[in-house]
Amino acid sequence: MARFVPIIHGAALERADEADTLIAAEAIAGSLARLGHESDVFHVGRNFAALVWLAESYPDAVVFNLVEALNGDASVAHLAPALMDRLGLAYTGANASAYTRTLSKLAVKRLLRAESLPTPDWWQSGADVPQGRRVIVKSVHEHGSLGMDAGSIVTGKAAEAEIARRQRQFGGTFFAEAFIEGREFNVALLDDGKGARVLPIPEIDFSGLPAMRPAIVDFGAKWDEADPAYHRMDRRFGLETREPALAAGLASLAMRAWDLFGLRGYARVDFRVDAEGQPFLLEINVNPALTPDAGFPAAAAVAGLSYDDMVDRILNAA
């Protein structure tokens, strides 16, 4: 049945990571047209006038929610689904409760630890980092690797100055997380109408990074075309065949996180795995990138789903 599917976002276009959202919106609009639906793209600001207008004008619409932040502030992204709930609008992806639970990386880690799910140790104050402990300094709320570069990895008490420096430079709150030397995996989950399904799991291949560049997915490598590491990382699929026990373990942990945080529609769970094969859950992204070259569509493609198939399943799970 043909529907009207407005696509909403809150991107601040001066940031490369958020401008990428518009590329996703355009791709999704094209997919919706091929699927027989009508769509339009709306920018959502803090006054939410667009959502109120949509609810009044198209109460039966199903909103494709791409809001990851509102004008650059990821800490208030949950307000969009919360208002859509109040307005009675159906929408894709996580509900307001799941958004709220996953907005803060610190809150995520506390809940993971409380439920005995493995996550790296962390310190809100850099002064508390043990001497000699290698850590990575991260934003509490921002995704897309904002504020992360080679200098984010420091040792011991140096974390205190690094946290302060990044808070001055980028705003918001930063913290220190134990840096897991090892491998990185992104586990995509998609609701197929019968519940969440784990898609084929890619390992991030850091072998193409410049010498002395740490093996992390930082902002420059993802978004800055002038960075020597830009798009020098690749995804390596086939883990289920090469290392079935590891693949099964990551899938199981991702499913536990899906249930714990009450996720819906689609999501991505990021892991590091240490030299002993122990996985550590890093972050949960309830609104992972859907640009055609992003990791989520890549995993869907390996699972045999076209981009249109993926969009259709996300829409039907709304």
User: HEC string of 189-253?
Assistant: EEECCCCEEECCCCEEECCCCCCCCCCCCCHHHHHCCCCCCCCCCEEECCHHHHCHHHHHHHHHH
List Cα–Cα distances, 216 to 36, 68, 95, 248, in angstroms: 40, 22, 30, 23
For residues 101-127, give the mean pLDDT: 97
Whether 194 is in a domain gets the answer yes
Q: Are residues 186 and 310 in the same domain?
A: yes
Alpha carbon distance 191, 93 (integer Å): 10
Q: Are 11 and 78 members of one domain?
A: yes
pLDDT score recorded for residue 13: 66
Q: Are strands 90-91 and 62-65 parallel, antiparallel or unpaired?
A: parallel
Task: For 59-77, write each residue's pLDDT tens digit.
Answer: 999 999 999 888 778 888 8
* Region 44-71 average pLDDT: 93
Model confidence pLDDT, tens digit, residues 242-299? 999 999 999 999 999 999 999 999 999 999 999 999 999 999 999 999 999 999 999 9
Whether residues 142 and 187 fall in one domain: no
Same domain, yes or no, for 25 and 47? yes
With respect to residue 212, please indicate whether it lies within any of the assigned structural domains. no
The pTM (predicted TM-score) of the whole model is: 0.94
* 198 domain residue, yes or no: yes
Q: Residue 70 is part of which domain span? A: 4-91
Place of tokens 């639906």: 37
> Using an 8 Å Cβ cutoff, are 63 and 265 in contact?
no
- Domain annotation covers residue 222: no
pLDDT of residue 107: 97
Is 218 a member of any domain? no
Same domain flag for 192 and 312: yes
Tokens of 275: 């030299």
Q: What is the pLDDT of residue 221?
A: 77
Instruction: List, for residues 118-139, the tens digit of each pLDDT value.
Output: 999 999 999 999 999 999 999 9
Same domain, 45 and 159: no
Residues 265 and 194 in one domain: yes
Q: 112 and 67 in one domain?
A: no
CATH classification at residue 288: 3.30.470.20
Please determine, for residue 238, whether its predicted confidence score (pLDDT) is greater than 70.
yes
Contact 102, 261 (CB under 8 A): yes
Q: Give the torsion sign (CA, 94, 233, 282, 130).
A: negative
Confidence of residue 17 (pLDDT cuts 50, 70, 90): low
The number of distinct structural domains making up the chain is 3
Q: What are the distances in angstroms from CA 234 to CA 187, 205, 218, 289?
A: 15, 5, 14, 16
Question: Which has the closest alpha carbon to 148: 161, 163, 137?
Answer: 137
195 plus 284 within the same structural domain: yes
Would you say residue 230 lies in a domain?
no
